[in-house]
A and B are shown apart, each in its own frame.
Chain A
Amino acid sequence: MSTSVKVFTVLALAVAVGLATAVSPFASSSPDGLGRVAHDKAFVDRSELHAVQEDAPAPDYAFPGIHDARVATGVAGFAGTLVVFALGFGMAALLRRREGPAAAR
């Protein structure tokens, strides 16, 4: 008995969504490797936001309109994981579909 690809996908996606939603609010908020080095070596102030990022929907992984920081992070993680899945899946499906009929023709 082997797990079908559909079941595998649903389970693995559930793990990803669960981690992004329920665990990410409790992740370390210390600067990461590059952030630490940029701070210690005094080039972090060169960082700037691109004009198109001024209107980013959820800057710094905080879903807008939610006051509780942890909930805002969790909701951002939930939304982001599903958007990434949809993009990755959609792109792969399009690529395969384009190949299918072309090969048949």
Chain B
Amino acid sequence: MHIPDGFLSADVAAATGVVAVAAVGYGLHRANRTLDERQVPLLGVTAAFVFAAQMLNFPVAGGTSGHFLGAALATILLGPWLACLVIAVVLVVQAFMFADGGVTALGANIVCMGVVGALGSGLMLRAGRAVLPPRRTPFLGLCGMTAWLAVVAGAAVASVLLAISGTVPLATVLPAMLGVHVFIGIGEAAITVAAVAAVLAVRPDLVAAAEHLEDEPVSAPAAGEALP
């Protein structure tokens, strides 16, 4: 489930709504400036994949399931601001078409599953790029760690929002949320790494966060050689 209406106080819903509108608005502004031709279908298909993968709940432990969130994957493919747009599109469709996630809580869901994960992932990827060798395997490891962290960070922020709302004390909800999401994050990491590896295999140029990677000996010729 996403955060439904009723879990958050009006103040928290409004404040997260403002943050979500600001992040999505800036994402739209960035898209207007920087979106290149290849990214138009990529944005659509990333949103479609995130939506589909979010439906695939996998068992975690003790009668609990987890599902993919997608902020890290979207950030790896498109950068953090377009990733906020991708997650917002998914959450809007889920709220209005499938009654999954609240309407007044939409901003909070965009913040927890989109903005926190996307901006956090952006920072992680930038830091990783600075210290890791520019090769595929360490990059995929970085993608996995980033995905795990995005889920855990989102769960922590959701816990804080629930606590500020007076729904449940932080000391109660935070350990419970983290306790589940450290495992859900492993699933997130596995799906993210698999998806990024698949895109790298066919169209490495579509992975925004992999621009710095050196060509592997077995990979396709560089774009400059292949194109007339």
Binding site for B on A (CB under 8 A): 1-3, 5-6, 8-9, 11-13, 15-17, 19-20, 23-24, 27-38, 40-41, 43, 46-50, 52-53, 56-61, 73, 76-77, 80-93, 95-96, 98-99
Contact = CB atoms under 8 A, between A and B. Distances in A.
Given A30-B63, A33-B155, A57-B97, 4 more contacts: A27-B67, A52-B96, A77-B52, A89-B45
Contacts of B98: 56-61, 76, 80
Interface string B166-185: 01100011001100110010
A43 B3 CA distance: 12
A11 to B, nearest CB: 8
Contacts, number: 230
7 contacts: A5-B42, A24-B52, A27-B56, A41-B176, A53-B96, A60-B100, A80-B97
What is the interface of chain B mostly: helix, strand, loop, or mixed? helix
A15 B49 contact: yes
B53 interface: yes
How many B residues touch the partner, as a band? 35 or more
Contact of A43 (B2, B168, B203, B226): B168
Contact of A32 (B38, B57, B203): B57
A5 B46 CA distance: 13
Contacts of A32: 1, 57, 64-67, 184
B57 A85 contact: no
A81 B89 CA distance: 11
The 4 closest A-B pairs by CB, nearest first: A89-B44, A88-B47, A20-B52, A50-B103
B48 A16 contact: yes
